[in-house]
């Protein structure tokens, strides 16, 4: 998926499925209504909004909405009565479903980047790549400490041998220790929030999920867009579509699964 954005306030990448849909519906409104936002504390507002999405998912209304989204998405995928019945029996809610979230808010000439999970934002600045976010992986020292303190373990780079990321919206099964704050849970929705004043050498930002960066480094991606923009007249959408075509696996067996992960790419271009 590629999106061309010329004037914006907030751009969001949510990678998952049902919880991603839930978050896409509610996060912008939650952010705009947050008291920190109205006071101009945008970094605190972003962090507060991520945590509020989890609080919404814990309510009966939130759980029922995710279950409904799950049923609707499966109905779109298949007309199989067998699969529909399975979904209805399982009642799949946000306990074992989650999504990563990478959000960019641009206000008053400052780029605010909030990230929970392993989606990523990279800035093309003066022909070089600058990381705007850090992937949250369980084997990172800070993440491992929190996971262990919350009663979990990291097995082969995964939380309790299951999730291969350490921060996400949803996945409430890993957030059930009532003696801990939301930001102290094994899996937390508490994002890193960074801010970058916009300067004249800001060219573009590439936002992508982990699949986009599976076969190419951040530097590779930024260099790719510089080259494409130089040859295609600066058109965003064709460049992003071409990138996704290149990194998608042509054959699952030949690439052993590489290039088969989620791939969403958003490009924000600065018109100086």
The H-assigned helical ranges of 118-177 are 141-149
What was the pLDDT predicted at 142?
96
Which helix (DSSP H) or strand (DSSP E) does residue 123 occupy?
strand 120-125
Burial category of 197 from C-beta neighbours within 10 Å (exposed 0-12, middle 13-18, buried 19 and up): exposed
| Alpha-carbon distances, residue 130 vs 39, 50, 266 (angstroms) | 29, 24, 16
Q: Which residue has the tokens 């995964």?
A: 158
Average pLDDT over every residue of 157-170: 94
- Which pLDDT band, with edges at 50, 70 and 90, does 92 fall under? low
Asked which of 135-139, 226-230, 243-247 is least confident by mean pLDDT, the reply is 243-247
CATH annotation of 4-58+94-269: 3.60.40.10
Query: Model's pTM, two decimal places?
Result: 0.87
> CB-based contacts of 211: which residues, under 8 Å, 6+ apart?
247, 259, 260, 261, 262, 263, 264
Element (H, E) at 129: strand 128-131
Six-digit token string for 46: 């972003």
Is the predicted pLDDT of residue 14 greater than 80, yes or no?
no
Domain ranges of the chain: 4-58+94-269
Distance CA 13, CA 23 (A): 10
Taking residues 138-153, what's their average pLDDT? 96
134: pLDDT strictly greater than 60:
yes
Rg (CA), the chain: 19
The pLDDT value given to residue 247: 85
What would the two tokens of residue 160 be?
A: 């309790």
Residue 150 has pLDDT above 80, yes or no: yes
Least confident of 90-94, 104-108, 116-120, 167-171: 90-94
- Arithmetic mean of pLDDT over the chain: 87
Lowest-pLDDT choice from 35-49, 130-144, 207-221, 253-267: 253-267
List the one residue out of 139, 182, 133, 130 whose CA is nearest residue 159.
139
- Report the percent of the chain where pLDDT is more than 90: 72
Task: Among 106-115, 143-152, 253-262, name the one with the lowest average pLDDT.
Answer: 253-262
At 11, the pLDDT band (50, 70, 90 cuts) reads low
Strands 4-5 and 265-269 come out as parallel
């Amino acid at each position: 998926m590629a999106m061309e954005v010329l004037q914006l306030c907030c751009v969001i990448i949510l990678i998952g499925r049902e919880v991603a849909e839930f978050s896409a519906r509610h996060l912008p409104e939650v952010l705009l209504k947050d008291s920190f936002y109205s006071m101009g504390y945008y970094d605190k507002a972003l962090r507060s909004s991520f945590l509020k999405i989890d609080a919404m998912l814990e309510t009966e209304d939130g759980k029922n909405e995710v279950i409904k989204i799950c049923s609707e998405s499966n109905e779109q995928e298949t007309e199989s009565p067998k699969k529909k019945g399975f979904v209805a029996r399982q009642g799949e809610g946000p306990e074992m479903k989650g999504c990563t979230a990478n959000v960019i808010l641009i206000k008053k000439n400052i780029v605010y980047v909030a990230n929970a999970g392993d989606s990523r934002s990279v800035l093309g600045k003066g022909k070089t790549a600058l990381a705007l976010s850090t992937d949250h992986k369980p084997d990172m020292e800070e993440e491992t400490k929190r996971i262990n303190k919350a009663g979990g373990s990291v097995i082969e780079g995964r939380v309790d041998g299951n999730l291969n990321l350490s921060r996400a919206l949803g996945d409430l099964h890993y957030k059930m220790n009532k003696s801990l704050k939301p930001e102290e849970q094994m899996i937390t929705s508490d994002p890193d929030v960074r801010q970058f004043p916009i300067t004249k050498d800001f060219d573009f930002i590439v936002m992508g999920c982990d699949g986009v960066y599976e076969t190419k480094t951040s530097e590779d991606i930024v260099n790719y867009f510089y080259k494409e923009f130089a040859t295609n007249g600066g058109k965003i959408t064709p460049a992003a579509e071409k990138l996704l075509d290149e990194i998608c696996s042509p054959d699952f067996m030949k690439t052993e699964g590489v290039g088969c992960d989620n791939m969403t790419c958003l490009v924000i271009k600065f018109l100086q």
